[in-house]
Amino acid sequence: GENVEQHPSTLSVQEGDSAVIKCTYSDSASNYFPWYKQELGKRPQLIIDIRSNVGEKKDQRIAVTLNKTAKHFSLHITETQPEDSAVYFCAASKYPGTASKLTFGTGTRLQVTL
Q: Which residue ranges make up the site for other proteins (CB under 8 A)?
A: 1, 4, 6, 9, 31-32, 34, 36, 42-46, 49, 51-52, 89, 91, 93, 95-107
Q: To the nearest whole angstrom, how small is the minimum distance from the Cβ of residue 12 to other proteins? A: 17
Q: Which is nearer to other proteins, 66 or 105 (CB)?
A: 105
**Residue 38 to residue 54: CA distance in whole angstroms:** 25
**Residue 92 to residue 12: CA distance in whole angstroms:** 25
Q: Which is nearer to other proteins, 57 or 78 (CB)?
A: 57
Q: To the nearest whole angstrom, how small is the minimum distance from the Cβ of residue 110 to other proteins? A: 15
Q: To the nearest whole angstrom, how small is the minimum distance from the Cβ of residue 41 to other proteins? A: 8
Q: Which is nearer to other proteins, 31 or 65 (CB)?
A: 31
Is residue 66 a contact partner of residue 50, using CB atoms and an 8 Å limit? yes
Q: To the nearest whole angstrom, how small is the minimum distance from the Cβ of residue 91 to other proteins? A: 8
Q: Which is nearer to other proteins, 51 or 58 (CB)?
A: 51
DSSP state of 84: G
**Residue 43 to residue 68: CA distance in whole angstroms:** 29
Is residue 88 a contact partner of residue 105, using CB atoms and an 8 Å limit? no
CB atoms within 10 A of CB 87: 18
